[in-house]
Structure 1
Amino acid sequence: MDRVPTTTRDAEITVKRSRFIATAAPAADRGAALAVVEAARATHPDARHHCWAWQGRSSAGSSDDGEPAGTAGRPILGVIGHKGLIDAVVVISRYFGGIKLGAGGLVRAYAGAAEAVLADLPSAALQAMIEQSVNMRFADEQPLRHWLAGQPDVSLISIEYGVGVTARVRLPVSLHADFADWCAARGVRGQNDGD
C-alpha cells in the first residue's frame, strides 16, 4: 500500500569529502515539490547542486541539476519508489569535496543520501477517497459544514445555489457510511461522483 510522508526530515552523508544534505518532505503536487527545492537552495546557497525527485499520485519528476544525466534525479526517484511513497519529494544539496566520484559513484551517493533521509521518515497509509454530490435544502448547508468540519481529511469542494443547494464533498471511503447516515437522517440526497 502506498504511503505519504507526514513530516519533513533531513539527513546528511559524506562521500569522499563531498557532503550530501538530503531533505524529504510531503508534496501533494509538483508546485509544492518545487517549493521544497527552492527552500533547499535558500538554505544551502553555496551548494554546487540541488538534485531532486518527486513522486505524486499519477505523475513524477526529477532533476540532475547539472550532475551527469541519470546520476542523481533518477536514483533518488528510485529510492522513493522502493519505499512505496507518494506525494513525496527528496532534494539533495551537494557540496563538492574536490574528488570526482564518477557516474557510478554519483548514483550510489545520491541513492545513499535518499535512503538515509527516507529510512525512518514518518508516513501514513494513503486513504482511498471518494467524491459525492448532495442536493439539500438551504437550511441543511450550515449543518453540513459543521459535520464536515468535525471530520478528518474531509473537504468541501464546491457549493452551488439554485432552487436548493448542491454541495460536492471529498471524504475518505472509511467515512462514507457515516456521511450516508448523516444524509439519510436529514433527508439529503446524494450520489457518488467516483474516486
Structure 2
Amino acid sequence: MSITPYRAPAQTVRCEQEIKKSRFITYLAHTQGEEDAKQFIQSIRETYPDARHHCWAFVAGRPESSVQWGCGDDGEPAGTAGKPMLAQLSGANVGEICAVVVRYFGGVKLGTGGLVKAYGSSVQQALMMMETREIAVTVPYVLSCEYAHIDTIESLLKQYHGVQLDAEFSHNVRLTVRIDARFVADFLEALKNQTRGQAHVSPLENESTSGT
C-alpha cells in the first residue's frame, strides 16, 4: 500500500471544440471509485440523450493503479476514442478522475487517425483547464479514552492530520478517527506518551484505507 498523497480534480470541468463540423463536448469530474465514475458517465448520457456518442475513460483510484482504469468507445471504431482519452488521463498523473466526451456528428467523417486526435485533444484541453487538490491516504482507528483525555486527543489529531468521524459518550469516550497514513506511527507514539498509555486504540474493522 502506498501512503503517498496524490492529486485529484478540485471541480468539474467542461469544454467544447468543433472539428470538421462535429461538436465535441468534454467533461472531467472527481469520481471516487468505479461505481461513482459509471454514475457520472450515465449522468452525461442523460444530459445529452440526442448525441451520437458518449465516449469515456476513468482512473478510478490512485494514478498508478491501472487495475482501476477503464474506457469505452460507445460506437466509435474500436480504440479511437476511449484509449486516447485514457492515455491523456493516465499521463496527467491524476487520480479519481473520469472523462466523458460527447460527440454530435457533423456529417464529415474524420477517419480513425482523426478520431484518435480529436478525442485525445478534447481531454487534453480539459486537463489544461482543470485545478487539482491533494488526496491524503488515511487509515481508520477507534480510540477509547477517559473524558480528561479528549483535549489531548483533539490536539494530536490536528497535529498529525487526523479527523474525527464519530464520537460515543458513556462511562468513557469512544472516538472513530482517520489518520494520515504518513503519520500513523508518530500519532500512536504521541498518543501513548501523552495519555500515559490510558487511551486504547485499534484499527477499525471492516473499513479500508482510503483517500480523503
Normalization by structure 2: what TM-score?
A: 0.73
1:22 aligns to 2:31 (yes or no): no
| Structure 1, 94-103 or 133-142: larger mean CA deviation | 133-142
What CA deviation, in whole Å up to 9, does each residue of 1:96-123 have, x standing for no partner? 0001111111110000100111112000
1:114 aligns to 2:118 (yes or no): no
| Structure 1, 132-141 or 97-106: larger mean CA deviation | 132-141
Pick from 90, 98, 101: which aligns with 2:107?
Answer: 98
Compared CA separation, residues 16 and 138, structure 1 to 2 (3 A): same
Is the CA contact 1:11–1:117 (under 8 Å) kept in the aligned structure 2? Answer: yes
Is the CA contact 1:133–1:166 (under 8 Å) kept in the aligned structure 2? Answer: no
Q: In structure 2, what is the Cα distance between the partners aligned to 1:61 and 1:173?
A: 27
Q: In structure 2, what is the Cα distance between the partners aligned to 1:171 and 1:135?
A: 12
Q: In structure 1, what is the Cα distance between the partners aligned to 2:189 and 2:144?
A: 13
What CA deviation, in whole Å up to 9, does each residue of 1:163-190 have, x standing for no partner? 9777653222466446764565443133
Is the CA contact 2:139–2:181 (under 8 Å) kept in the aligned structure 1? Answer: no
| Structure 1, 133-142 or 67-76: larger mean CA deviation | 133-142
Q: How does 1:1-195 map to 2 (within 5 A)?
A: 2-57=6-61, 58=65, 59-127=68-136, 129-137=137-145, 139=147, 154=163, 156=165, 169-173=177-181, 176=184, 177=186, 181=190, 184-186=193-195, 187-190=198-201
Give the Å deviation of 1:130. Answer: 3.7
Q: In structure 1, what is the Cα distance between the partners aligned to 2:162 and 2:70?
A: 26
Q: In structure 1, what is the Cα distance between the partners aligned to 2:99 and 2:156?
A: 33
Give the Å deviation of 1:84. Answer: 0.8
Percent identity over the alignment is 32
Is the CA contact 2:143–2:176 (under 8 Å) kept in the aligned structure 1? Answer: no
Q: In structure 2, what is the Cα distance between the partners aligned to 1:96 and 1:71?
A: 15
Give the Å deviation of 1:34. Answer: 1.5
Question: Unmatched 5+ residue regions in structure 1?
Answer: none
Q: In structure 1, what is the Cα distance between the partners aligned to 2:162 and 2:98?
A: 21
Q: In structure 2, what is the Cα distance between the partners aligned to 1:184 and 1:172?
A: 19
For this pair of structures, how many residues does the alignment match? 193
| Structure 1, 45-54 or 33-42: larger mean CA deviation | 33-42
SS, match of residue 129 in structure 2: coil
